[in-house]
Amino acid sequence: MFALSRMSIMQSAKTVAIAMMVICASSLANVQTASANSKYAGIVIDAKTGKTLYNYRGDNIRFPASLTKMMTVYMMFDAMRAGKLKKSDRIRISSHAASMIPSKLGIRAGGSLTAEQAIYALITKSANDVAAAVAEHLGGTESQFGVMMTRKARSLGMSKTVFKNASGLPNSKQVTTARDMAKLGLALQEHFPREFKYFNTREFRFGKARYRNHNRLLGRVRGVDGIKTGYTRASGFNLVSSVNTGGRSIVAVVLGGRTGASRNAQMQKLIAEYLPKASRRGSGGLIAKTQSAPTVIAAMRASDLPIPAEAPVRIGETTAPITAYAAAAPRPKMPVDPIITSSAPQRSGWVIQIASLPSNAEALEYLATAKSKASSVVGSRTPFVEVFEKNGVTYHRARFAGFEGKADARAACQAIKRYNYACLAQQL
């Protein structure tokens, strides 16, 4: 009798131990998957309460790859809401845009597509040529659009994200985190609930071609209604997913997957485990619509402007240019002229403006690049930055002075636009 009782106890203990091992294995599965891949980072956020349900290296710096296009699309939605862009507006493909490496639609330079077609192309095909064209349409140049994207990221609370281009093509300075990408996913849903349906598009037709969405979880995993995939060699396979079902809502991020299939499998694991833990209560509204704080500036001289140089970066088997700073690069001959700040005397006469940027340093960099690229147009002109405020936000106008009159300034504007710069001639 005692032996049977002892055997029963031992079997019960064994059963409990096995059960505990199963529970531990289940709870540690995601961590084991993560630790096996140094690029991996993941996070799951309850979209109704903001609670972090899962976090593995969610605040570590990673490369966004084509998740960048989430912000490009956000900027388009923002411009539409502000009345600066319509779905029917034509977006021209420049030679710069046409030169982008795949994935792309392959529209030739001089061609165009509508803004709505551009949205579909960015979300489904992840078209790099379209991303660059949108950047030029909204920002004048892709580099300026990168500044605009970064500023918007700060206003959304994406404190560790920096954008340098609109596509996500490799740039060592273009970085993000899983948490920041989750915030962007939340912002797209909260700020543009009607437009968010574009991210649920399974297929997009352009001309005779048909493009299937790269996000293979759409239609396969219950509740998944977006958002975006991404991949470069440096980033690994990335995915942001929005899930809304059963009164629960989450945004989940997987960065650095070894393959598309393993990334998708990890995302499915996260959804299955953490969606049931999300709350059915909560009002959302987690991402505020605020402006980033103005940058404090100091007076600088035109001779202090950084000089950009083109350095190659290898993308797979393709070499593409990427902007970098060359410390030993010779500086162009520029007049030693103080940059105008809010405390300096204002100019008079005709000037041209090529950008309005959030900081003095960004405006200076933009002027230097324009001076170098379009030297035949503005090589003899005087660069300066004018500071002004609107609705409590500080802006920095990147301008050139030294024009003989209205006709001279307007002619310069027409000429510099050929270098993909926006331009406005104005009399002070």
On whether the CB atoms of residues 127 and 121 are closer than 8 A, the answer is yes
DSSP at 255 = E
Reading the block at residue 327, the tokens are 């410390």
Q: Which helix (H) or strand (E) holds 376?
A: helix 375-378
Is the torsion defined by CA of 319, 325, 327, 333 positive or negative? positive
On whether the CB atoms of residues 88 and 116 are closer than 8 A, the answer is yes
* Amino acid at site 205: R
The count of other CB atoms within 10 Å of the CB of residue 422 is 18
What pTM did the predictor assign? Answer: 0.65
Reading the block at residue 38, the tokens are 């140094």
Nearest to 213 by CA among 239, 189, 236, 191: 239
The count of other CB atoms within 10 Å of the CB of residue 16 is 10
* Amino acid at site 96: H
pLDDT value of residue 375: 87
Reading the block at residue 205, the tokens are 């037709």
Concatenated DSSP letters of 109-168: TT-EEEHHHHHHIIIII--HHHHHHHHHHHHSSHHHHHHHHHHHHHHTT-TT-B-S-SS-
C-alpha 281/C-alpha 100 separation (Å) is 45
On whether the CB atoms of residues 229 and 250 are closer than 8 A, the answer is no
On whether the CB atoms of residues 45 and 181 are closer than 8 A, the answer is no
Rounded to the nearest integer, the mean pLDDT of the chain is 81
Which residues, 6 or more positions from 407, have their beta carbon under 8 angstroms from its beta carbon?
none
C-alpha 209/C-alpha 107 separation (Å) is 12
Concatenated DSSP letters of 261-281: HHHHHHHHHHHHHHGGGS-S-
CA angle 380, 384, 390 (to 5 degrees): 145
pLDDT value of residue 14: 56
C-alpha 111/C-alpha 130 separation (Å) is 11
Convert the pLDDT of each residue in 363-386 to its tens digit: 888 888 888 888 889 988 999 998
C-alpha 101/C-alpha 151 separation (Å) is 26
C-alpha 145/C-alpha 324 separation (Å) is 17
**Active-site residue numbers?**
66, 69, 126
Q: Which helix (H) or strand (E) holds 92?
A: strand 90-92
What is the SS3 assignment for 180?
A: helix
Reading the block at residue 362, the tokens are 């960004």
On whether the CB atoms of residues 157 and 302 are closer than 8 A, the answer is no
What is the SS3 assignment for 46?
A: strand
C-alpha 189/C-alpha 48 separation (Å) is 11
* Amino acid at site 203: E
* Amino acid at site 219: G
Convert the pLDDT of each residue in 144-179 to its tens digit: 999 999 999 999 999 999 999 999 999 999 999 999
C-alpha 341/C-alpha 364 separation (Å) is 12
What is the SS3 assignment for 322?
A: strand
Nearest to 97 by CA among 131, 139, 137, 144: 131
- Residue ranges for the chain with pLDDT beneath 70: 1-36, 289-347, 390-393
Convert the pLDDT of each residue in 205-229 to its tens digit: 998 899 999 999 999 999 999 899 9
C-alpha 36/C-alpha 13 separation (Å) is 32
Reading the block at residue 83, the tokens are 């009345």
